[in-house]
Amino acid sequence: MPVPRETFLSSVWRDGIFKDKVLFCTGGAGTICSMQVRAFVALGGNACITGRNAEKTEKGAADIASVRPGAKVIGIVADVRDMAAMEAAAERCATELGSLDFAIAGAAGNFLAPMSQLSSNAFRTVMEIDTLGSFHTAKAVMPYLIQSVQKHKNSGKEEPTGTGGRIIFISASFHFRGQPLQAHVMAAKAAVDQISSSVAMEYGPHGITSNVITPGPISGTEGMERLSTADARSVKESKAKIPVGRWGEVKEIADATVFLFSDAGSYVNGVVLVVDGGAWRTTGADMGSTWKYPGFFLSGAVVEGVKGGKKSKL
């Protein structure tokens, strides 16, 4: 179903800034990543999204393509944990769409669980999807990003062919201060941040930029379904703890993406751009009205009331 433009993109951006450029995005059918890709396509680009679910990925690609007449968006079934699969997906993207100029490492997994109920397999799964998946994505797309930046120079001036050769990793802020129920994700995302830093340092000399976008609580996303309950009191308390007093919108993550990929972001490299209304400054051990700290851990209770919530075997 077509999504109104104002839902995923601010009006400040000039149409056509990504004309004939190609974006490769893992997890591209997700609630946040799909809007990032949608914004890119609306501004003239084409795209390739990957995912493990064939139906969701193919439908997501078709839906994103509807944002602009003539847009080309390919959906590829590929598991980010499989290096060979990611290399094949990147090659197909570059071959069918003519290039691979930008990339988003967005595939991720998350759920709430105390360490006492977190199995080794569950921990490993998140590490493999988030961390290993981000590494595989970077490795798979880098040869094409180097080719792109050779054609579209990162000179600090507005090149006639536009920009290219940029990658964004999607992370989280839990590891900044520590967050109960998120041992697996804190470990995984801390590593993702450092993968981005390594790319920034090692591929910066080629002209590549590598940055992280760290979303905060974003309304209407699968992440919020997995990390918070829907009761009115809990939602109100959650919003009250955020300095700007509200949850974010998917458009605000898409706008950050456009900024980093545009000429305006040419000299931004090795940065963690936190888009959370200041939430990470005021949160930490507190888990809101649903799971009180430290009583929840002393009780041995199970996380309930969220999507995907379950007790893992030790």
The pLDDT of residue 81: 98
The pLDDT of residue 228: 59
b/e burial code for range 67-99 (CB count within 10 A of at least 16 → b): bbeebbbbbbebbbbebebbbebbebbbeebeb
- Helix (H) or strand (E) holding 167, with range, is strand 166-170
Distance in angstroms (rounded) separating the CA atoms of residues 63 and 3: 9
The pLDDT of residue 311: 46
C-alpha separations of 262 from 12, 158, 177, 209 in Å = 12, 10, 31, 11
Distance in angstroms (rounded) separating the CA atoms of residues 29 and 27: 6
Angle between helices 133-151 and 183-203 (to 10 degrees): 30
Q: Which residues contact 293 (CB under 8 A, 6 or more apart)?
A: 180, 285, 286, 287
235 three-state secondary structure: helix
The catalytic residue among 134, 189, 210, 251 is: 189
pLDDT reading at 91 higher than 90: yes
Tokens (6 digits) for 123? 């921990």
The pLDDT of residue 310: 47
Least confident of 84-98, 194-208, 291-305: 291-305
The pLDDT of residue 304: 77
Distance in angstroms (rounded) separating the CA atoms of residues 189 and 169: 10
Q: What confidence category does residue 122 fall into, taking pLDDT thresholds of 50, 70 and 90?
A: very high
The pLDDT of residue 296: 74
What does the domain layout of the chain look like in residue ranges?
Answer: 14-299
Mean pLDDT in residue range 106-125: 94
The pLDDT of residue 289: 59
Q: What is the pLDDT of residues 228-266, one digit of tens each?
A: 566 777 788 888 888 899 999 999 999 999 999 999 999
Annotated catalytic residue 251: no
Mean pLDDT in residue range 214-220: 90
The pLDDT of residue 73: 98
Using left for φ > 0, alpha for ψ between -120 and 50, and beta otherwise, residue 168 falls in: beta
The catalytic residue among 171, 173, 210, 228 is: 171
Q: How far apart are the first and last CA of the chain?
A: 42
Q: What is the pLDDT of residues 28-73, one digit of tens each?
A: 999 999 999 999 999 999 999 999 999 999 999 999 999 999 999 9
> Cis peptide before 114, with omega less than 30 degrees from 0?
no
The pLDDT of residue 292: 72
282 three-state secondary structure: helix
Q: What confidence category does residue 314 fall into, taking pLDDT thresholds of 50, 70 and 90?
A: very low
Which 8-state DSSP code applies to residue 71? -
pLDDT reading at 268 higher than 80: yes
Q: What confidence category does residue 93 fall into, taking pLDDT thresholds of 50, 70 and 90?
A: very high
Mean pLDDT in residue range 75-81: 98
Distance in angstroms (rounded) separating the CA atoms of residues 301 and 215: 28
The CB-based long-range contact list for 89-98 (8 Å cut-off, 24+ gap) reads 89/24, 89/48, 89/50, 89/140, 90/24, 90/140, 90/141, 90/144, 92/48, 93/22, 93/24, 93/48, 93/144, 94/22, 94/144, 96/48, 97/22, 97/46, 97/47, 97/48, 97/72, 98/20, 98/22
The pLDDT of residue 92: 98
pLDDT reading at 184 higher than 90: yes
Q: What is the pLDDT of residues 275-312, one digit of tens each?
A: 999 999 887 666 665 667 677 768 788 887 667 654 44
Distance in angstroms (rounded) separating the CA atoms of residues 9 and 256: 10
Annotated catalytic residue 312: no
Please state the CATH superfamily assignment of the domain spanning residues 14-299 in this structure: NAD(P)-binding Rossmann-like Domain (3.40.50.720)
Closest CA to 182 of 269, 123, 245, 120: 123
76 three-state secondary structure: strand
Using left for φ > 0, alpha for ψ between -120 and 50, and beta otherwise, residue 98 falls in: left
